[in-house]
Amino acid sequence: MASVFKQTYTKTLPDGSRITRQTKKWYAEYIDAQGLRQRVPGYTDRAATEQLAARLEREAARTAEGLTDPTKPHRVRPLADHLTDFAAVLEAKGDTPQHVRETVSRVRAVLDGCGFVRLDDVDAGKAAAWLHDLRRESGPIRLPVAQQTFTPAETAALLNISGAAVRAAVKLQGLEATGQGKARRFPRATVEALCDRMRRGTGPQTVNHYVRSIRGFFRWMVKAKRATSNPLDTLSLLNTQTDVRRGRRELTADELRELLDATLTSLRTFRGLTGEDRFHLYLTAASTGFRARALAHLTPGDFDLDPTGPTVTLAARYNKSRKPKIQPLPADTAAHLRHYLAGKPVSLPVWGGTWAADKRGAEMIRGDLEAVGIPYAVEGPDGPEYADFHALRHTFLTMLGRYGVDLRTAQDLAGHSKPELTARYSHRRLHDLAGAVDKLPALSSARPNGGGDEGDRGDEVGREKITLRATGTDGTAEKLGGQLGGGSCKPLPFAARLFTNEGSDPSPQKTTQPAGFAAGCNEIPQLASARTTGLEPATTGSTVRYSNQLSYVPNVFESQHLRCVLRYPATVFDTSSDTR
């Protein structure tokens, strides 16, 4: 039974005598759910204290029976305290310091912006309104009329951001600036461009980062039994395709060759990386699809450049998926790396330094692109598309898709958890789509006005010839073999050399040249002996000359599947006969 009482205390009087007195406040004593005696202060009114004691006793009994809400003590704690615990959980889970820092910063921004102090304050409507306000355009920023140049400090004050943010924005967007240090000045056009970008509001991708972070925080609270349900579970993600702030493009095969050629002979040094260093860095990035952070931590010991099966191993702590990954290497890339890595310390990073940690990969590759005249940004259907360092990963996956590698295999090579992520990296341009449309059969039997060649006629003979030619059964292969035997041949387009292995280490295991390939001509692969399945038409009007299912390419999906699909045309990386 709970009881109430007044505590006594002893007070010393001025004459030295001591008297015993009672407190004005009553105290309640009860047995908690664990069977322990607890004493809590009550009120000056005895009846109110008795009611408190009875309530505490009832709650203890309900708790002992498992009938109370275990989240009740957590609802009165400040959310800031829960956020501190959440950060500790993320760190213990093994998340990178950068991810923990960014996640906690986004959660704190939502809590402070919406005024959420405790769990009962959280409201999905307020959070949605705050996120919507981020997307709104602000009013125009007025610049001094007569001023034509601005210091970094003046620019930062106008935009209400830090000087470091101003410098980063100018570099990222490639805006004009003059002078260095205290003499640094921005022309009016540069400041106007920054102001225009600032007033656009936050992009949908950034808003989605806030949504994922805050929903993850409350999901953790539910899982830790600190909340009964996720109060922000109704927040939905925005469609990022409607407002792409920084799209990326893939480099074409010609652009990639020009970039590698120019970088190899470049005299420019960027944060300790010479032209030869950057050449092999770009080559490895385009051959593996590894991210900048992963490449910056690779050591010579991570490479196994055995000609029978070259690979590179990425440790789990440097992989975004937090899983170890063994990636096959194309033979020509391995040949270049074999000479480059010879003599380097086995345990030290090959491309170490600060370029990846400080996120200067875009600045580095931009300088090499400009040196060879390749545009860093081109206008796309949804705005500018940039060829920054991460675009090499886009290039890797796009090349896999264009040369017929199926999506499931490309997903394994990319290390993605979902095929949707891989599809987002693999770009399809108009000529790719046109080649796919050309596979459709003739739909009309009527002859088009004005005649035309046999490919345009709707009669049965014309359509039959189209089908035979598309499937390689119209005798073209035999004619091609005769040309090869005679020694006269013309180079086929770049994609037709996918399964040749020029410039790489010659070994029986590495041979990808189809059987029946005529000696004396290394330009046209003979496809007469390729295995055919059904009537799959080839992709015409496109750079891709093989079907997407790789039905005409022998030995692709056999024992060394991933290695076979990584055999790029040698002309992509064949920068010279010197394999330094």
Mean pLDDT computed over 549-559: 37
Give pLDDT, residue 566.
58
Per-residue pLDDT at 535 exceeds 60: no
Q: Spell out where 278-388 has E strands.
A: 303-304, 311-314, 325-328, 377-380, 383-386
Question: 354 versus 546: which is more confidently predicted?
Answer: 354
Give pLDDT, residue 474.
52
**CB-side exposure of 378: number of CA atoms within 13 Å?**
13
| Burial of 451 from C-beta contacts in 10 A (0-12 / 13-18 / 19+) | exposed
The Cα 86–Cα 95 span in angstroms is 12
352-367, pLDDT tens digit by residue? 999 999 889 999 999 9
Q: How confident is the model at residue 102 (pLDDT cuts 50, 70, 90)?
A: very high
Separation in Å, CA 537 to CA 132, 149, 437, 457: 49, 61, 11, 18
State residue 99 phi and psi, 5-degree precision.
-65, -40
Residue 518, both tokens:
């005529």
Contact status, residue 326 vs residue 301, Cβ threshold 8 Å:
no
Q: How confident is the model at residue 284 (pLDDT cuts 50, 70, 90)?
A: very high
Q: How confident is the model at residue 322 (pLDDT cuts 50, 70, 90)?
A: confident
Residues near 565 by beta carbon (within 8 Å), at least 6 away in sequence: 400, 403, 405, 409, 413, 556
Q: 126-135, 186-195, 235-244, 560-569: which has the minimum mean pLDDT?
A: 560-569
Give pLDDT, residue 576.
47
The Cα 402–Cα 429 span in angstroms is 10
Give pLDDT, residue 563.
53
**How much is the mean pLDDT over the chain?**
80
3-state class percentages of the chain: helix first, strand second, coil last, to nearest 5 = 45, 10, 45
Contact status, residue 575 vs residue 520, Cβ threshold 8 Å:
no
State residue 11 phi and psi, 5-degree precision.
-120, 135
Q: What predicted TM-score, i.e. pTM, was given to this entire model?
A: 0.65
421-470, pLDDT tens digit by residue? 898 888 888 878 888 888 888 887 777 665 555 444 444 444 455 444 44
Per-residue pLDDT at 52 exceeds 80: yes
Picking from 195, 226, 173, 205, the residue whose alpha carbon sits closest to that of residue 106 is 205
Q: Is 453 helix (H, G, I), strand (E, B) or coil?
A: coil
Which stretch of DSSP H or E encloses residue 409?
helix 407-414
Share of the chain above pLDDT 90, in %: 51
State residue 295 phi and psi, 5-degree precision.
-65, -35
The Cα 296–Cα 353 span in angstroms is 8
The Cα 520–Cα 517 span in angstroms is 9
Residue 222, both tokens:
């539910």
CA angle 347, 352, 355 (to 5 degrees): 165
55-64, pLDDT tens digit by residue? 999 888 888 8
Q: Positive or negative CA dihedral for 314, 318, 321, 324?
A: positive
8-state DSSP, 317? G
Question: 62 versus 210: which is more confidently predicted?
Answer: 210
The Cα 27–Cα 5 span in angstroms is 5
Give pLDDT, residue 249.
92
Contact status, residue 374 vs residue 387, Cβ threshold 8 Å:
yes
